[in-house]
Structure 1
C-alpha cells in the first residue's frame, strides 16, 4: 500500500530482517510487519518529536546497536517550510533508540542522505539545498554530535551539473559514494573528489550489494546498476 501523500522514501533492513521505512508521506518511521507477504502491515516506530508531528522522514541508517539515525526535511509537505501542516520549525536529524527520540541537528536547511562511518565514530549528512550543496560530517561523542565540519562542498559542481545531494553510502574502504551534482560522486575519506558515475539521469539514492560487486542507483522511474571494480589504492 502506498500513502496518498507520497509514500515511502529511504529503506533499510535491520538486524532482525525487518524492513524499516521513512514514510515521508505519512510523516513517520515505520516497520513493515509480516514482510514479505501479500498483506503486510505497517507499524509506527515514531511519528513525532515532543508531541509535534515529524516533517517528512527522508533517509536513515542503523548502527550496530540498533539505533536509527534519520533525516527529516519538509519534502513530503506540499508547501515544504511554508506548509500550514508543518509543526516543527526546523528540519532536523534525529536518533531513535530505546523508544526515545533525540534531536541531533537542527541547523541544516535540507538534511537528506545520511550514513555512518564504518567504525561508527562519524556521521555524514547530505544537504540537498541548491544554495547550500554540502555534505557535513560530525564526530559522535556519547549520545551527541561534536566537531561539525563541511566534508565536501559541491557549489562548484552544482554550477555546471544537474542534481542535488541526496542519498549516500560508504564503501568498506571508507570511500563515500554520494548522489549529487552530475551523478554519483566518489569522494575519499579526506573529502577529495575522485570521480563521478553518471548514469544519464539525476540520481536520488544508491546502494551496494553485499559483496560490493555492484552499485545500484535509483533515478526517476529507473533502477540501474554498474559493476564496481574499486581499488582505493589506485587513486
Structure 2
C-alpha cells in the first residue's frame, strides 16, 4: 500500500493539471466566435453593462452614447452631446458614470439623461483627459487621466504635468493615488474591492495594487508586461486586456488565451447580457459579442 501513495499523488496532480488546462480552454463557449453587432460607428469605446445586462458604449468622435438592448439585441442612441465620453461604468446607485474628456470631467448620468458634473479639476487645474474608470464596492471612484491631444480642444498643452490615477471618495473628495506611471489608461478592480489593476499603456505594462480601506493603493506589483486600453475581469479572476484583440490572463498574470479581432485596434471590453455571460468588444468602428462560459462580475 505504501508504494501506491506516490502513484496516487502523481495521478492526482495530473488530473488537477488537466482540469486547470481544460477550464482555461473553455472560457469561450464551444464553437463560438466574435459576432459583429454593428459597424456603423466611427470609434467605439467604454462599454458598461447595467444590472439588467443592457450594454452602453460610446462613439467618441460622434459624441454619442449608444445602448445595446438585452431584450432584442437592437442598438439605439442613448444620449447625444455626451461630453465626448470615453470610459463608462455604473455606480452603486445604478447611474452611469462617464469619463467625459471634452472638458476633462467626470459625469454622472441618470436614467432620465440628467447630467451632474462630479469632478472638473484638481486643485484648480484642468485634468488632462479622464479616460477610464472603475467604481469600488464602497462607491469610491478610481479613474485614469492620461493626455491625448484632441482635435476638438482649444488647448494644446497640459495644465497638470503628471498623468495620474485619481480616487474620488464617498464624500466627493479627490486625491492622487498613482503618479509614477507613463500613461495610465485601462483600469479594473476585483468585486471584493481588494485588488485594482491599472494598465500603463505608455510603458506597455499592467500593475496590480492592494486597495486600502481609505482608498489608497499600496503593494504595487507588475502583473504582466503588456499594456491595455480598456479592461475587464470575470468570475474566475481572469483579467482581459485589449489592444491587439483581447488577451486574457489568469490572476497570477499568466497568459491563458487570446481572442482575435479583425481590426487594427481593440479598444475596450466588458461582460453583459441577461446572465453577464456575453463578452462585448469595441474595436474601431465596430462592436462585437462573444458567448462565454465565464461571467462578468460586479460588487
Q: TM-score range by the shorter chain?
A: 0.7 to 0.9
**Superposed CA RMSD:** 2.1
Verify: 1:153 aligned to 2:153, yes or no: no
Number of the residue aligned with 2:81: 2
Aligned match for 1:186, one of 248, 266, 269? 248
Asked whether the 8 Å contact 2:149–2:156 carries over to 1, the reply is no
Cα separation, 1, equivalents of 2:219 and 2:277:
34
Structure 2 residue runs of 5 or longer lacking an equivalent are 1-79
Structure with greater strand share of residues: 1
Number of the residue aligned with 2:205: 134
Number of the residue aligned with 1:13: 90
Normalised to the residue count of structure 1, the TM-score between the two structures is 0.83
Number of the residue aligned with 2:239: 176
Number of equivalent positions: 211
Normalised to the residue count of structure 2, the TM-score between the two structures is 0.66
Structure 1 residue runs of 5 or longer lacking an equivalent are 155-163
Q: Give 1:17 deviation, angstroms.
A: 2.0
Cα separation, 1, equivalents of 2:101 and 2:255:
31
Number of the residue aligned with 1:200: 262
Cα separation, 2, equivalents of 1:19 and 1:13:
5
Q: Give 1:45 deviation, angstroms.
A: 0.3
Cα separation, 2, equivalents of 1:147 and 1:206:
26
Structure with higher RCO (Cα < 8 A, 6+ apart): 2
Once the two structures are superposed, residues 99-141 of structure 1 have per-residue CA deviations (whole angstroms, 9 ceiling, x without a partner) of: 1001000111111111112321111001122xx2111111122
Number of the residue aligned with 1:161: none
Cα separation, 2, equivalents of 1:121 and 1:213:
23
What does 1:25-36 align with in structure 2 at a 5 Å threshold?
25-33=102-110, 35-36=111-112
Larger radius of gyration, structure 1 or 2?
2
Cα separation, 2, equivalents of 1:30 and 1:108:
24
The runs of at least 4 aligned residues of structure 1 exceeding 3 Å deviation read none
Cα separation, 2, equivalents of 1:199 and 1:28:
31
Q: Give 1:142 deviation, angstroms.
A: 3.2
Number of the residue aligned with 1:166: 229
Cα–Cα, structure 1 residues 76 and 31, in superposed 2: closer, same or farther, change >3 Å?
A: farther
Verify: 1:228 aligned to 2:292, yes or no: yes
